[in-house]
Chain A
Amino acid sequence: MSIQCVGIVTSLTNGLSEREANDAITANVCKGPQQHEEVCLGLFALLLTEPPQAQRCYRDLTLVNRDGMNVILIKINQILMEKFLKLQDVCRTQLVWLVRELVKSGVIGADGVLMTLMKQIAGGDITSKNLWLAENVLDILLDQREWVLKSGMLIAMSVYTYLRLIVDHGTPALLVLRQKEVDLCIGLLREKFMECFIIGRDLVRLLQIVARIPEMELLWKDLLHNPQALSPQFTGLLQLLTARTSRKFLACRLTPDMETKLLFMTSRVRFGQQKRYQDWFQRQYLSTAESQSLRCDLIRYICGVVHPSNEVLSSDILPRWAIIGWLLTTCTSNVAASNAKLALFYDWLFFSPEKDSIMNIEPAILVMHHSMKPHPAITATLLDFMCRIIPHFFPPLEGQVRQGVFNSLTFIMEKRVLAHLAPLFDNPKLDRELRSMLRERFAEFCSSPSPPTEGRDEGESVSLEMDNHVLLDKEDGCYDNTEAAFSDDEEEVNNKGNKKREFRFHPIKEAVIEEPADITPYVDQLDDTMKEKVLQLQKGSDTEAHCEVMQEIVDLVLEEDFDSEQMSTLASCLAELFKGHFRGDVLPDDITEESLEESVCKPVCLVFRNLCQMQEDNSGFSVLLEMLAELYQKQPKIGYHLLYYLRASKAAMGKMSLYESFAQATALGDLHTCLMMDMKACQEDDIRLLCYLTPSIYTEFPDETLRSGELLNMIVAVIDSTQLQELMCHVMIGNLVMFRKDSVLNILIQSLEWETFEQYSAWQLFLAHSIPLETIIPILQHLKYKEHPEALSCLLLQLRREKPSGEMVKMVLSRPCHPEDQFTTSILRHWAAKHDDVLGEHIKALLIKNNNMPRKRQSLRSSSSKLAQLTLEQILEHMDNLRLNLSNTKNSFFTQTPILQALQHVQASCDEAHKMSYYDCEYEEPSSKPPKSRRKAPASSPRSRKGAVTPVSNEEESASSSASEEEDSKPKAPKRKRKGSSAVASDSD
């Protein structure tokens, strides 16, 4: 494209004098927009590639362009965002020169281009190319100061960028550059503080990291003690710390390439498959000492900018916390690690549910939650950090920081990121000291029952209660620090909590029946007819009468002149009036047709019934959905009540899909989220109902359920063994499918984090299906000795029923050798007894393959850390364990022809070290010592089993031919070896 344009320009100007050339170009530009663009881009391309012509080209450009350089600005932005890394040095130099010229000419939009250019300066990179760019952009900013001061965004962006880059430029060789950077930042901060203020709290974070530089120290003094000196509108640090950082700034410190790769990881890569991508990213951006500082930028970016959709969140895509965990675990310097932790918790410190997003604080809690099992040290260090940051972040603001952290934790539970914090805070994997510190600081989160939160309206009162707790506990905590005293405290807190809850529930319960005043704030907003009906509902207590009135209300709503503005008010009234229906069990104790029909005869169900009877294209249908959506906002339990109705009521037969329409009509807006929320609510209220709903949910919404480890965990976390058995029967009868081939592996991998009974239940349910074991064999790579006993034992018992396949044998042999880990030996022994010929062939294939490629190894779906790698030594070690185990039995596994051939093959090519360790045990021992069982058996068993002589000789041929291939590379060794091997062979004859 550009090349064609260059061609056009050169052909226009070829052989002409400057003036003539200018005329020719101008004339061409006048022909139309296409010609205009071609000429501009042609000049642009020439300018980039031919430095001697650059001046002239730029002058021509300024003369002929008719769009305020717009075409050029767009092109520059495009190159910067997509191809900057690929530009040749000449082009880079020219591009920076051009941007400088554009700035000098004051072209409108040049500030945007300059900001894009700034984005190309990589953090944590002090290679000369990057330094060159940092310095050149800095020079533009310093030289064109007056122009810079005109653009607020450019000021803020420059300050954010260079405050960050100062961190990288601390070595003596770079001090001159750093001084210039400091001068720029200090100048802008002092002169235009309110422009910099728009950055938000991350400005403080950056200033903290560079606070030791003398000029910065002075600035800090003013920030803390004399804020007005910076700007009359600035009231102090707290003002800045409570301002959320705009995504623009968090994103500006990542180059487009880093951004693309991180976004790819968080939107496309499946959980469990991230290892290589992480390695590649690390190789490119995080492998040097100076790159440590980049981690903070990445963490801030992930917390503040990468906010996946609900769809992605509920899928098996690599979650954000896993990336954070990776960034934390691979941190090599202490300073970087503590900065990284601060970056992770930064939005917690002054969190306010109104201004801040749950997405910003979620990664920290989830990385702590999920690391508890695999990396308890990470969870511990983060919890420790969370405790200590409260008093240490900034002592004068300790109260605010504590409130921020409490707000975060409360919001996390309210939003159900985690239902309970007690398992996290009071976990036996944490050491006692840390646990007691957590108990001291977060007593109310350490006790199991979560505060009752019904809808958002009550959020405020809950957090007020929290405040009281904080004060109380602090006082209590001061008295005594012994553990016993604390557990007493906890009980007390529990009791208090319970009392409070009762105290709060009572008036509400009574209000429905006895205190009609409760709906007065709403009822007056209704028009008269509706008001009358609602008041009727309030008075009577007879269910049938209620139902009749309810039907009348529904009819009113469906009338054409119903004012939809009233819907929300009406919903508030109904939610309040029917509060009683949503308490207590839904499912009748004895499930019979009659009892089920009776249970769906509540007034609320009338709305459901009307919905079921209506055609979807009827305009009333959407009105009713709207009504339900409004009710759902006031009373979330209505979601699972609807599911129950659709399942239980005869009137709703075959109408389960109505729930999808309902989900889409709610504020949540999508089926998956809605279903998960409702099942969660159901799980908390009524476990029997959860089990009752499970088969139809799985049947009706396979796409939402079958891939959801979350849902399965919800179920197995609460069921008892009877319910488990019932579900298994449903599966075997064919009423229920809970696993599908394509997703079962991922779900089982997720289940490794669950509690023991939960895991066993998941396996039982899996086994009730008849999915081939092959599908889930790769899970073996995730199973660590001692860490995953549940899965290992289930798998062991299953493998034992299978005939070994190549993949199974490989996976089994891939387990790292550990003296106490008997898994591999157990299963090999079993197979050696039952399927010796098949096992022999598979082992032969593996031995020969691994022998041929000494350092190649398989690593399949890797999780995070080290992966099982199949090496020759490993196979041999497992084989040796098996041999030792079999030595006192009559098993003749090791005398089978394929095994002997394979071992000969290995022997023929392995190096001395291997030979030393394995040659002896595999060959010398049997032949030198009394042969015993192993020697005798072969003469009869392998031959007689194989039946004929021919296949054996065939195999020998192939073995020797593959050995002869080896000769190419190792001409000497094999000869000698082959003698040895033939001796063995003849011996066995």
Chain B
Amino acid sequence: MTTETHVKDIKPGLKNLNVIFIVLETGRVTKTKDGHEVRTCKVADKTGSISISVWDEVGGLIQTGDIIRLTKGYASVFKGCLTLYTGRGGELLKIGEFCMVYSEVPNFSEPNPEYSNMDQMKNKTVRGNDTTNGNGVNSQGSGSSTTPLQGGRAGSGVGSRANNPGGTTVNGKETRRSTKR
């Protein structure tokens, strides 16, 4: 069983993060050039809050008050702010709602001047690299057949269960993936 990272321990560059948090705010939708919908949500656990960038239809299923487990997430700096993303093969799984104690402060996604420089450097180095691009998904999303492989991110599709490479969750339980309302 993988252990969960607390929000306070999330640092830029960390990968393979498992985090349990409660959603405090869901941001507006923005569209990327290639048509992906991106939402920035503010989420928190008892140690603090952070922004998470959620891509495509999953974003529409998330409601404030949802308690969600992120698997295989990663953190990086976007526009000077520490941000959490769903990584390759990772997913967001609603495991409950409401009943979680959180602390909104400190907000680890506050713009941090230390990160600004890193951000710039990172953007330079990463642009060519296809694992991450500060958006989390874009590079993989281009291949049409691989999209459903991003599993949790693609919602409750059956395909995602079968192919979910994360494999940490048991399928078929009522508690599973019920972000749909």
Contact = CB atoms under 8 A, between A and B. Distances in A.
Contacts of B120: 958, 961
Contacts, number: 59
A848 B81 CA distance: 12
Interface in A718-762: none
Interface string B35-63: 00000101000000000000000000000
A76 to B, nearest CB: 14
A861 B107 CA distance: 12
Interface stretch (B5-13, B85-93, B98-106): B98-106
Contact of B79 (A87, A264, A965): A965
B178 interface: yes
Interface string A465-485: 000000000000000000000
B65 interface: yes
Contacts of A281: 98
Given A280-B64, A849-B111, A958-B116, A778 B99 contact: no
A853 B107 CA distance: 15
Interface centre among B42, B64, B99 (most CB of A within 10 A): B99
B143 interface: no
A962 B116 CA distance: 10
Given A86-B174, A276-B65, A861-B104, A260 B99 contact: yes
Shortest Cβ-Cβ A-B pairs, 5 listed: A280-B65, A264-B99, A849-B111, A86-B174, A261-B98
Contacts of B30: 969
Nearest to B22: A276
B116 A856 contact: no
B128 interface: no
Nearest to A88: B174
Interface in B136-181: 172, 174-175, 178
Q: What is the predominant secondary structure among interface residues of chain B facing chain A? A: loop
16 contacts: A86-B175, A261-B99, A268-B99, A276-B65, A277-B98, A280-B64, A281-B98, A845-B111, A849-B80, A849-B81, A853-B27, A856-B42, A859-B104, A861-B104, A961-B120, A962-B79
B106 to A, nearest CB: 9
Interface in A843-859: 845, 848-849, 852-853, 855-856, 858-859
A276 B24 CA distance: 8
A855 B65 CA distance: 20
Contact of A856 (B27, B65, B101, B113): B27
A855 B101 contact: no
A83 interface: yes
B79 A852 contact: yes
A962 B111 CA distance: 13
Contacts of B116: 958
Nearest to B32: A968
Interface string A269-297: 11001001101110100000000000000
A851 to B, nearest CB: 11
Contacts of B40: 853, 856
A280 B105 contact: no
Contact of A845 (B28, B79, B101, B113): B113
A98 interface: no
B28 A855 contact: yes
A260 B103 CA distance: 20
A417 interface: no
A375 B87 CA distance: 48
A10 to B, nearest CB: 15
Contacts of A859: 104
A558 interface: no
A493 interface: no
B98 A280 contact: yes
A960 to B, nearest CB: 12
Contact of B64 (A261, A276, A848): A276
A872 to B, nearest CB: 14
Interface of B: 24-25, 27-28, 30, 40, 42, 64-65, 79-81, 97-99, 101, 103-105, 107, 110-111, 113, 116, 120, 172, 174-175, 178
A804 to B, nearest CB: 15
A778 B105 CA distance: 10
A164 to B, nearest CB: 24
A175 interface: no
B178 A86 contact: yes
A197 to B, nearest CB: 37
A861 B105 contact: yes
Nearest to A261: B98
Nearest to A957: B120
Contacts of B105: 778, 860-861
Given A3-B172, A276-B24, A848 B101 contact: no
B80 to A, nearest CB: 8
Nearest to B105: A860
Given A280-B65, A860-B105, A264 B178 contact: no
Contacts of B175: 86
Nearest to A280: B65
A3 B171 CA distance: 11
Contacts of B101: 268-270
Interface in A949-989: 958, 961-962, 965, 969
Contacts of B28: 855
Contacts of A277: 65, 98
Contacts of B65: 276-277, 280, 283
Interface centre among B111, B120, B175 (most CB of A within 10 A): B111
Nearest to A264: B99
Given A86-B178, A845-B113, A855-B28, A860 B79 contact: no
Contacts of A270: 101
Contacts of A965: 79
A859 B110 CA distance: 13
Nearest to A862: B104
A945 B174 CA distance: 64
A959 to B, nearest CB: 11
Interface in A101-128: none
B107 A858 contact: yes
A280 B63 CA distance: 10
Nearest to A965: B79
Given A261-B98, A277-B65, A859-B104, 16 more contacts: A260-B99, A261-B99, A264-B98, A268-B99, A269-B101, A277-B98, A280-B65, A280-B97, A283-B65, A848-B111, A849-B80, A849-B81, A853-B27, A860-B104, A861-B105, A965-B79
A861 B102 CA distance: 11
A853 to B, nearest CB: 8
Contacts of B174: 83, 86-87
Contacts of A845: 111, 113
Contacts of A269: 101
A853 B27 CA distance: 9
A849 B110 CA distance: 8
Contacts of B111: 845, 848-849
Contacts of B81: 849
Contacts of A853: 27, 40
Contacts of A280: 64-65, 97-98
Interface centre among B28, B30, B64, B110 (most CB of A within 10 A): B110
Contacts of A806: 110
Nearest to B79: A852
Contacts of B98: 260-261, 264, 277, 280-281
Contacts of A962: 79
Contacts of B79: 852, 962, 965
A965 B25 CA distance: 24
A765 B175 CA distance: 51
Contacts of A860: 104-105
Contacts of A260: 98-99
